[in-house]
Structure 1
Amino acid sequence: MSSLRVVSSSLALALSCATALSAHAADSPRPLYDWSTTERFDASRVPAYAGRHDAVYARIDADMDAHIANLQRWVRQRSISAQDDGIDAMANLVADDLRALGFAEVRLVKTPGHPGVLGYYDAGAEKTLVVYMMYDVQPVEDNWQIDDPFAGSLVKHERGTVLMARGATNQKGPQRAFLNALDAMIKTNGTLPVNLYVVAEGEEELGSPNFGKVIEPWVERLRKADGAFFPMNIQRPDGSASLNLGVKGIVYFELESKGGAWGGPAKAEVHGSLKSLVDSPTLRLVQAIASMTTPDGNTITIPGYYAPVKAPAAEQQRLINTLAAEADDSTMQRSLGVSHWIDGLSGREAIVRNLYDPTLNINGLWSGYTGEGTKTILPHIATAKIDSRLPPGLEPDDAYRMIRAHLDANGFKDVVVRPMSGYPAASTSVEAPLVQAMLGVMNKYGAKTRVSPWLAGSAPFHQFTRTLGLPFVFGGLGYGTGAHAPDEFMLLHPAEGVKAAGLADIEKSYVDILHALSEAP
């Protein structure tokens, strides 16, 4: 059962009031959520995993040099999905490593994009786990402190010895660490405590457009598993951790305004002086986008857009109550370089807004001349890339339908909506045995864990929770930073005073997670 404790009477009084998600007037389309519980979820009261697997731990310690070399081998293989750089070689490396570990079934899966990898290890066990992996990485920037981001460099850092490379923490490092743990278990015990499926894709950094194709050949087999897991570093340097039980969904699309029968130049730009007589596609696009939000850009005005969002259930309220009691908005704002949240929100209201509000965000906007100096033209085309994050309840097809209907109703039928990707939200109950097993292992290693109903970001985890119908958890010990940025690293050997796990304990915790799941009811 979940572990709960009652908050102080003063906070209980505050929580008894309805949570207002907006400081706007009462006619805001945002719903008001009634808060029904003052209880908090206390992850520390989940019993710590008590199992000991000393022979496997000793093997991990003895093989640490080889295990570090495995991480280096993975990050040295380029696999930039956006540039199709090294993708096939990395897919084959993953497949070959699974075969070397003793996975009897391994296959490459062709898709319209990059290939996937499927693997199965039959341990003859009662429980079966699906392990998700992504083998692709982001492009690299020029301003790294090391000469080659694909060299697998071991660097002395203020946090300790780190593996600095593209993919070190996102996600090749923790994934190969998981395979290292499997290697130690198999070499020590001859098998694993659970049967394992590995499903790996090479397009996560592209929005996973073909991940459904990757799992399709084994979808009926995968549905019979007991849960799904994604190895990931979720600790901070102080040893605390953030465990998210799901993700928002997303739609990502382009809006385009082009001259034509409605007005504006249809074939090419024209002289800017003709604006007195000629419509501007650029201004039309700006007005179409502006029509979808309030003037401050912070409330979506598309009719019905907030209505499908599911209100926080009691379980989610308990998780949020704990997050709110420990919230530090000012520190997060400083880390992001922003002065305040929208509407001056803080604490629980900020958390609920972040988790339960759909978003509408412009990623890029371009038209006409953007070079040096001046060029007075009236462009014939304007384009914007937009994403909308979707909380549970708001489905991608419905979001696209409402966006199209809103533009049509406001006189923008000529504005093209070009969908590029989309998938729904995913979430798992904190009561799921897989989640409880994870929390028990985190408690064994003294990692204070903050649990959130889901992440405000997006990933294709609905393929596990909806397509396969499995509980899904992503996390693990370990610290890394710099994902999608210069100087990405994963901590291997912590410096004195750093409480995040090093590689040896990361791998030992993976051993414990598999055993804890095998013993779960």
Structure 2
Amino acid sequence: MIGIRSAALALLLTLAVAAAATPGARAEGPRPDWEFSTDQAFDSASIPAYAGRHDAVYARIDADLDAHLAHLQRWVRQRSISAQDDGIREMAELVAGDLRDLGFRDVALVETPGHPGVFGHYDAGAERTLVVYMMYDVQPVEENWRIADPFAGELVEHEIGTVLMARGATNQKGPQRAFLNALDAIIQEHGTLPVNLYVIAEGEEELGSPNFGAVIEPYLDRLRAADGAFFPMNIQEPDGDASLNLGVKGIIYFELESKGGEWGGPAKAEVHGSLKAMVDSPALRLVQAIASMSTPDGNTILVPGYYDAVRAPSDEEQRLVNGLALRADDAAMQKALGVSQWIGGMHGREAIIRNLFDPTLNIDGIWSGYTGEGMKTILPHMATAKIDSRLPPGLEPDEAYRMIREHLDAGGFEDIELSRLSGYPAASTPVDAPLVRAAIGVFNRYGANPRVAPWLAGSAPFYQFTRTLGLPFVFGGLGHGAGAHAPDEYMLIRPAEGVKAAGLAEIEKSYVDLLYALSEASSE
């Protein structure tokens, strides 16, 4: 029992990290070393800061700021825990009602096999059209909050200033309602918006967005005619630093399960541990199957073809990576994560390349048999692991699943059950898209010159915008928040002296600027 658990823990620790190598000629083994053809670096400061002025709208935001804050509090006070179906429909109806109050004439709750979505259309008669993505669901709450009720929407004095502390404050109700506040201020002053808007909201993002396709399906033709899509989000650090990601990796998430049966092992229930001398162990078999998918250190995937499918960095992506490398601070990131070093001591551009262009194989959880206090010597009849793999552009979910299944079968692990839980491809947007340039110009206006990455190493179903709808997609915005999915989640409302991240008023003004910048952007 102890040996099995120790081996599983070792695999968990070693497989959980992305792999390391040096760019250059292709190395021995399955992983490519990407050879860069340019040392040029993208500099977001080269994009002119947005220069438009909308003083009447800014003044309206300042005058109505207390009411705007009350709207944020109203949103976070409505429970909407998707995993528990707690307040979900009520939150969907709240979103729909707010869109109608703002003047959206075409608003509907979109029924799906799961939680409902929300659709809204504001026709301003404008030349440009923007799709705005929203999620109205939140994660369950846990203990150890510094406030008694995470759904009370309290204002709390924090070391960085006054914050709104609540579940959903920054992920994502706060920035989303701030965006709607900006719309309200524009409409109050000018009677309409500078762009047409579609709002598409789902209530299952925290569940992996299994039915988001059903939300957009009735409106595909209309949405495809838009000029871009935007997801309001707080992406600043307290010092004002901002990172703008132009996409995400894809993902597959699955369970591997080993059960006793015809191949051997107890089929119905655990048996006495002494019988291991004669009886196969499903737990050991699962550990061996997982171990077969990587090198002994866990840092190189051995599934045939897994790296071959990854698309090589384009010239544009190389310039973006080079720009990131100029501003990289590995030590600070390692300190924040509580990690002593990256694999093999890599740093700078090498680490960025591996983080963005390597697929990963990671054990999220593994369990079998007795895990309580003391001793219980048994031979478990089943063992299970939850595994995720992040997929760079080029490596498609169905192909990844196929290669893993074929690898297990070729290794004699046909009895290991593979259950798909989720999967979607990567998404990316070119840096020269008018929406991207407009967003960077707005960041630059507020002194938040962003680091721009070709994509995030994490995953989200943004392919629905870039591939299904064929639109450039930007997710981000001024503002700071922390604690998403954790206790004490907050969004900064009024920064303390010396804190450079935007407060609520500046966040809303930047959203105003973004809409006007898009309306004025050249299509070239």
The 2-side partners of 1:28 and 1:233 are apart by 41
**Which residue of structure 2 aligns with residue 351 of structure 1?**
352
Specify the SS of the correspondent of 1:59.
helix
Residue 430 (structure 1) shift: 0.4
Specify the SS of the correspondent of 2:41.
strand
The 2-side partners of 1:326 and 1:179 are apart by 33
**Which residue of structure 2 aligns with residue 205 of structure 1?**
206
Worse-matched range after superposition: 29-38 or 356-365: 29-38
**Which residue of structure 1 aligns with residue 373 of structure 2?**
372
Specify the SS of the correspondent of 2:506.
helix
Specify the SS of the correspondent of 2:131.
strand
| Aligned CA-pair RMSD | 1.3
Specify the SS of the correspondent of 2:494.
strand
Partners of 1:266 and 1:380 within 8 A in 2: yes
Q: Deviations over 1:63-108 (max 9, x none)?
A: 0000000000000111111111111111111111111111111111
The 2-side partners of 1:21 and 1:421 are apart by 31
Residue 427 (structure 1) shift: 0.2
| 2:217 is the alignment partner of 1:216 | yes
- TM-score normalized by the length of structure 2: 0.95
Specify the SS of the correspondent of 1:40.
coil
The 2-side partners of 1:20 and 1:202 are apart by 40
Partners of 1:22 and 1:343 within 8 A in 2: no
Aligned 1:429-444 pairs, distance under 5 A: 429-444=430-445
Residue 25 (structure 1) shift: 10
Partners of 2:186 and 2:512 within 8 A in 1: yes
- TM-score normalized by the length of structure 1: 0.95
Residue 24 (structure 1) shift: 13
| 2:503 is the alignment partner of 1:502 | yes
Aligned 1:22-41 pairs, distance under 5 A: 26-41=27-42
Specify the SS of the correspondent of 1:112.
coil
Specify the SS of the correspondent of 1:32.
coil
Partners of 1:21 and 1:30 within 8 A in 2: no
**Which residue of structure 1 aligns with residue 390 of structure 2?**
389
Aligned 1:10-409 pairs, distance under 5 A: 20-21=21-22, 26-409=27-410
Q: Deviations over 1:323-363 (max 9, x none)?
A: 11111111111111111101111000000000000000000
The 2-side partners of 1:452 and 1:270 are apart by 53
**Which residue of structure 2 aligns with residue 485 of structure 1?**
486
Query: Match of 1:110, as an amino acid?
Result: E
Partners of 1:363 and 1:387 within 8 A in 2: yes
The 2-side partners of 1:502 and 1:486 are apart by 21
Aligned 1:441-456 pairs, distance under 5 A: 441-456=442-457
The 1-side partners of 2:343 and 2:203 are apart by 36
Q: Deviations over 1:256-296 (max 9, x none)?
A: 11111111111111111111111111100000000000011
The 1-side partners of 2:354 and 2:328 are apart by 14
Query: Match of 1:393, as an amino acid?
Result: G
Query: Match of 1:80, as an amino acid?
Result: I
The 1-side partners of 2:204 and 2:346 are apart by 36
Query: Match of 2:363, as an amino acid?
Result: I
The 1-side partners of 2:483 and 2:109 are apart by 30
Residue 308 (structure 1) shift: 1.0
Amino-acid identity (%): 77
- CA 1:418–1:23 in structure 2 vs 1: closer, same or farther (change >3 Å)? farther
Query: Match of 2:357, as an amino acid?
Result: Y
Partners of 1:257 and 1:416 within 8 A in 2: yes
Query: Match of 1:493, as an amino acid?
Result: R
Query: Match of 1:434, as an amino acid?
Result: L
The 2-side partners of 1:508 and 1:23 are apart by 45
Aligned pair count reads 503
The 2-side partners of 1:108 and 1:368 are apart by 45
**Which residue of structure 2 aligns with residue 14 of structure 1?**
none
Partners of 1:249 and 1:458 within 8 A in 2: yes
The 2-side partners of 1:488 and 1:232 are apart by 14
Q: Deviations over 1:220-268 (max 9, x none)?
A: 1100000000000111111121000000000000001111111111111
The 1-side partners of 2:133 and 2:125 are apart by 21
The 1-side partners of 2:444 and 2:28 are apart by 45
Query: Match of 1:475, as an amino acid?
Result: G
Q: Deviations over 1:414-464 (max 9, x none)?
A: 001100000000000000000000011111111121000000000000000
Specify the SS of the correspondent of 1:351.
helix
Give 5+ residue unaligned stretches, structure 1: 1-18
Residue 20 (structure 1) shift: 4.6
The 1-side partners of 2:371 and 2:217 are apart by 45
Partners of 2:81 and 2:87 within 8 A in 1: yes
Partners of 1:82 and 1:138 within 8 A in 2: yes
